[in-house]
Chain A
């Protein structure tokens, strides 16, 4: 796509730290095969305006928190990459660990998995070795949820990322764990995970985003999931950036015939986080299950925007986003279900539930439907409720202090999302991550 001509010279506010000089420097640090698409992405980034409060897709967002100044791109890591182990208690070693956007460590896949043709490599390697797949799937889907500018920034400055390819008919039982870490003051990272599951394959991917220190980072990440005919992808993205960070993440999910994608976004870190998720149900029988759990504390803001597009008949989507809000935290959920005229017998569900643990917390829900077919079942709903006083008293009457009682009730609230994960180990590892979050 050609960049729209800029009406005015981009101000420094529109590019922040990501100036043309910074871009030139970045470009020199990546292989030439990236250059063309990066130049085009940078032009888009420069040309597109920063969001404003009047933009519908940024309604309720704290725009002043979305700053592009004060960041350092391609920051070298000073630590041993093995330090970025993550807090996930999974038996599987992370296959790839990225530190500040570049590959730190790599663990070989199990022999049987590798022998079946499964590929887990860096995006740079994929662009070299599997150019066709890369071209077809890397950031190939439209940005429809308001962050086209930041997605362009992501593409312009991405240093590297993860590429997962599961060939036709191959089922990988053990989760593939990928770690994306950041360290150093003001470090900007652009993590990316691209997953391609071919016909009748099955794979579980865990992306863990974390900071190795307490500095504020800027994480501007994306992930592309492609589930071919009859494939099944389980995707968990656990966001544990440092509490001073600004996080943006754009998800795109393509679901082909009879395929199923289950994604769970766990939002635990960052000072302000925006997450956009787009599911496209492109062929009959496709099913996208979109789940999210958020623990919002302090004065943090979690801004989630979703779009379920049903492009074919007999497709199904089921979204359940649950937020636990404490202190003065804010959450925003804006979700839209779109049913194309041909997508008869669509079954779409969308639900945002907020558990308010504080009177000073604020949740905003903007559910929406846009239905052009006449034989569909679409439901959506949003609720916001405080902790049940009787339940809280019941727990306290057993000697459980208030804080621990609230924690238990949050787990109870989250359980109907967590219990949808088939993998027991993953379920308990995620519980462990949430527990740590409360321990802080």
Chain B
């Protein structure tokens, strides 16, 4: 078992502090959902953990199995097992999905080792079938001209191929209609297992009826203010975030 420990994490962009001290431990095999209204720092936290250059970690630490990853570049963090599923994945014209994933897998191999091309394609097609992605996709440019649902499926495909220890899934449900949501959720559920820890970021409960979390946390104004099990998500759905805010004010 591996663990991702987030310790008293503070994140700023420019002069503005967005994440104000989050502590959370995710073990492989667990799914944690972080819920909260827009602009409370959920996405910022995920991007900062993945090493996005626009965000500065001013305090605290992020550790994988007890070792801090903050000194590492984003590509090293990824190879240590962090995967960020983007809310808005970049379009990369001229770079095919097949070449892109191949480069990502190649980066995980020892110096001088080469990917076995036939094994690679076999695995890629198998994962694509699972996610109901047309095989012709492999020669298309990464995310270019993809629909919302295609972009998210492409993110899950990458996750399936790269086999991270910890996936930070940023608003994976946004831009998805109900059919697409189901396909994406099925994809995530198929990856669920003892070797993967997931942090699901969402502000709607609907995703959590398909991907059922073990733990639910509520984040407001850069802090986790409440944690519970999956029933907390349902409660939030029926009562809204104001209820938590009020509780917070009276506390």
At the interface with chain B, which of A142-150, A251-259, A370-378, A387-395?
A387-395
Among B75, B91, B100, find the residue whose CB has the most chain A CB atoms closer than 10 A. B75
Q: Which of B51, B84, B103 contacts A400 (CB 8 A)?
A: B103
Q: Which residue numbers of A lie inside 8 Å of B, CB to CB?
A: 388-391, 393-402, 404-405, 408-409, 411-416
Q: How far is the CA of A388 from the CA of B52 in the complex (A)?
A: 14
Q: How far is the CA of A28 from the CA of B192 in the complex (A)?
A: 79
Interface residues of B in 14-73 (CB under 8 A from A): 50-53, 73
Among B78, B89, B95, find the residue whose CB has the most chain A CB atoms closer than 10 A. B95
Known: A397-B75, A398-B100, A412-B93. 6 other contacts (CB 8 A): A390-B90, A393-B52, A397-B84, A399-B107, A400-B103, A416-B93
The answer to the question of B74 belonging to the interface, with a C-beta cut-off of 8 Å to chain A, is: yes
Q: How far is the CA of A427 from the CA of B100 in the complex (A)?
A: 18
The answer to the question of B133 belonging to the interface, with a C-beta cut-off of 8 Å to chain A, is: no
| Binary A-proximity of B73-104 (CB < 8 A = 1, otherwise 0) | 11100110001101001111111000110011
**In the complex, which residues of chain A have a beta carbon less than 8 angstroms from the beta carbon of B141?**
412, 415
Q: How far is the CB of B123 from chain A (nearest CB, A)?
A: 16
**In the complex, which residues of chain B have a beta carbon less than 8 angstroms from the beta carbon of A402?**
73, 75
**In the complex, which residues of chain B have a beta carbon less than 8 angstroms from the beta carbon of A414?**
94
Q: Which residue numbers of B lie inside 8 Å of A, CB to CB?
A: 50-53, 73-75, 78-79, 83-84, 86, 89-95, 99-100, 103-104, 106-108, 141, 158, 162
Q: Decide if A398 touches B162 in the complex (CB within 8 Å).
A: yes
Q: Which of B78, B79, B90 contacts A388 (CB 8 A)?
A: B90
Q: How far is the CB of A357 from chain B (nearest CB, A)?
A: 15
Q: Which of A388, A389, A394 contacts B86 (CB 8 A)?
A: A394
Q: Which of A389, A393, A398 contacts B104 (CB 8 A)?
A: A398
Q: Which of A401, A404, A412 contacts B92 (CB 8 A)?
A: A412
Once A389-B53, A400-B103 are accepted as A-B contacts, the answer to whether A412 and B94 lie under 8 Å apart by CB is: yes
Q: Decide if B95 touches A411 in the complex (CB within 8 Å).
A: yes
Among B79, B89, B91, B103, find the residue whose CB has the most chain A CB atoms closer than 10 A. B103
Those 10 A-B pairs whose CB atoms lie nearest each other, nearest first: A415-B94, A412-B94, A399-B78, A394-B90, A412-B95, A398-B104, A396-B75, A399-B79, A396-B74, A399-B107
Q: Decide if B53 touches A393 in the complex (CB within 8 Å).
A: yes
Q: Decide if B74 touches A404 in the complex (CB within 8 Å).
A: no
Q: How far is the CB of A19 from chain B (nearest CB, A)?
A: 49
Q: Decide if B73 touches A398 in the complex (CB within 8 Å).
A: no
Q: Decide if B89 touches A394 in the complex (CB within 8 Å).
A: yes
Q: Which of A390, A394, A413 contacts B94 (CB 8 A)?
A: A413
Q: How far is the CB of B164 from chain A (nearest CB, A)?
A: 9
**In the complex, which residues of chain A have a beta carbon less than 8 angstroms from the beta carbon of B104?**
395, 398-400
Once A398-B158, A399-B79 are accepted as A-B contacts, the answer to whether A411 and B90 lie under 8 Å apart by CB is: no
Q: How far is the CB of B87 from chain A (nearest CB, A)?
A: 12
Q: How far is the CB of A337 from chain B (nearest CB, A)?
A: 26
Q: Decide if A405 touches B75 in the complex (CB within 8 Å).
A: yes
Q: Decide if B99 touches A397 in the complex (CB within 8 Å).
A: no
Q: How far is the CB of B29 from chain A (nearest CB, A)?
A: 22
**In the complex, which residues of chain B have a beta carbon less than 8 angstroms from the beta carbon of A411?**
94-95, 99
Q: How far is the CB of B140 from chain A (nearest CB, A)?
A: 12
Q: How far is the CB of B247 from chain A (nearest CB, A)?
A: 36
Q: How far is the CB of B225 from chain A (nearest CB, A)?
A: 28
Smallest CB gap from A390: residue in B? B90
Q: How far is the CB of A241 from chain B (nearest CB, A)?
A: 27
Q: How far is the CB of B153 from chain A (nearest CB, A)?
A: 16
Q: Which of B51, B73, B92 contacts A391 (CB 8 A)?
A: B92
Q: How far is the CA of A131 from the CA of B53 in the complex (A)?
A: 66
Q: Decide if B100 touches A395 in the complex (CB within 8 Å).
A: yes
Q: How far is the CA of A399 from the CA of B73 in the complex (A)?
A: 9
**In the complex, which residues of chain A have a beta carbon less than 8 angstroms from the beta carbon of B75?**
396-402, 405
Among A396, A397, A400, A414, find the residue whose CB has the most chain B CB atoms closer than 10 A. A397
Q: Decide if B78 touches A408 in the complex (CB within 8 Å).
A: no
**In the complex, which residues of chain B have a beta carbon less than 8 angstroms from the beta carbon of A416?**
93-94
**In the complex, which residues of chain B have a beta carbon less than 8 angstroms from the beta carbon of A400?**
75, 103-104, 107
**In the complex, which residues of chain A have a beta carbon less than 8 angstroms from the beta carbon of B93?**
412, 415-416
Smallest CB gap from A401: residue in B? B75
Q: How far is the CB of B127 from chain A (nearest CB, A)?
A: 15
Smallest CB gap from B80: residue in A? A399
**Listed A/B pairs (13) with beta-carbon separation below 8 Å:** A389-B53, A393-B74, A395-B92, A395-B104, A396-B75, A401-B107, A402-B75, A404-B106, A404-B107, A408-B95, A408-B100, A411-B95, A415-B94
**In the complex, which residues of chain A have a beta carbon less than 8 angstroms from the beta carbon of B162?**
398-399
**In the complex, which residues of chain A have a beta carbon less than 8 angstroms from the beta carbon of B103?**
395, 400, 404, 408
Q: How far is the CB of B227 from chain A (nearest CB, A)?
A: 27
Q: Which of B51, B92, B95 contacts A397 (CB 8 A)?
A: B51
Smallest CB gap from B89: residue in A? A394
**In the complex, which residues of chain A have a beta carbon less than 8 angstroms from the beta carbon of B90?**
388, 390-391, 393-394
Q: Decide if B50 touches A409 in the complex (CB within 8 Å).
A: no
**In the complex, which residues of chain B have a beta carbon less than 8 angstroms from the beta carbon of A391?**
90-92
**In the complex, which residues of chain B have a beta carbon less than 8 angstroms from the beta carbon of A395?**
92, 100, 103-104
